């Protein structure tokens, strides 16, 4: 059921990860941030201006000259998270999912762009309160989310077409009905 719930919301994202991706909990400190890139979508592309380094993106968020590149709701979400992380003992700091080729990086954030930027803006200790999970595969360069290129976009289009007929919501309904019968 967890898998079906995950696929309802993030199926297209997870299906693009290479088969055999191994997951690890990682320890990331402030000095490691230079090896992390934001997930290149929507507002993040506009803010990155070609450089997806999390440190550059965080600098641009506080730089007033980049303010017009992001909607107010985007900035408000980061500000809310930053305020939460500045509390002395926030109940939940959150998790960040990273993907990479190997343990030395670079890594791309699969989930948690807002959380990580907010932690960076909150205070140095906030980054270390986040939990980091990293999916590694020597085939990760083939994944659109890790590194967008014409080749990875074509692979993504082919995969989306192949998964078009699958209905994760229907799979969830089927699993829930089966669970009721147990």
Residue 134 has pLDDT above 90, yes or no: yes
Q: The tokens of 34 are what?
A: 């230079």
| pLDDT score of 102 | 93
Q: Which domain holds residue 144?
A: 20-160
Residue 113 has pLDDT above 60, yes or no: yes
pLDDT band at residue 106 using 50, 70 and 90 as cut-offs: very high
Average pLDDT, the chain: 78
In a domain, 29, yes or no: yes
| pLDDT score of 39 | 78
Q: Summarize the confidence of residues 36-62 as an average pLDDT.
A: 84
| pLDDT score of 154 | 56
Query: Which helix (DSSP H) or strand (DSSP E) does residue 82 occupy?
Result: helix 72-86
In a domain, 1, yes or no: no
pLDDT tens for 28-41 read 988 899 999 987 77
For 89, 133, 134, 136, the CA distances from 24, given in Å and listed in that order, are 25, 6, 5, 8
Residue 4 has pLDDT above 90, yes or no: no
Contacts of 151 (CB under 8 A, 6+ apart): 142
Contact 50, 148 (CB under 8 A): no
In a domain, 59, yes or no: yes
Closest by CA to 61, choosing from 82, 30, 41, is 82
pLDDT tens for 75-95 read 889 899 988 888 766 556 688
In a domain, 177, yes or no: no
In a domain, 106, yes or no: yes
Q: At what angle do helices 113-122 and 54-62 cross, to 10 degrees?
A: 60
Which residue has better confidence, 170 or 103? 103
In a domain, 147, yes or no: yes
- 8-state DSSP, 148: -
In a domain, 12, yes or no: no
Count of domains observed in the chain: 1
| pLDDT score of 29 | 86
Residue 98 has pLDDT above 90, yes or no: yes
In a domain, 56, yes or no: yes
Closest by CA to 63, choosing from 48, 77, 50, is 48
Contact 123, 156 (CB under 8 A): no
The alpha carbon of residue 50 and the mean position of all alpha carbons in its chain are separated, in whole angstroms, by 18
Which residue has better confidence, 77 or 154? 77
Give me the DSSP letters along 95-128: EEEEEESSTT--EEEEE-HHHHHHHHHH-HHHHH
């Amino acid at each position: 059921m967890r898998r079906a719930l995950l696929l309802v919301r993030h199926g297209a994202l997870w299906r693009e990860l290479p088969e055999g991706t191994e997951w690890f909990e990682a320890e990331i400190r402030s000095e490691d941030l230079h090896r992390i890139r934001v997930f290149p979508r929507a507002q993040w592309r506009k803010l990155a201006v070609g450089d997806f380094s999390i440190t550059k993106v965080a600098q641009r968020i506080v730089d007033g000259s980049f303010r017009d590149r992001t909607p107010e709701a985007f900035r408000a979400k980061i500000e809310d998270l930053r305020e939460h992380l500045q509390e002395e003992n926030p109940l939940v700091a959150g998790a960040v999912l990273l993907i990479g080729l190997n343990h030395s990086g670079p890594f791309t954030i699969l989930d948690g762009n807002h959380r990580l930027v907010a932690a960076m803006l909150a205070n140095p200790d906030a980054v270390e309160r986040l939990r980091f999970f990293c999916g590694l595969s020597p085939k990760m360069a083939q994944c659109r989310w890790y590194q967008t290129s014409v080749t990875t976009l074509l692979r993504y289009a082919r995969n989306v077409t192949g998964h078009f007929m699958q209905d994760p919501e229907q799979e969830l309904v089927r699993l829930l009905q089966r669970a009721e019968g147990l």
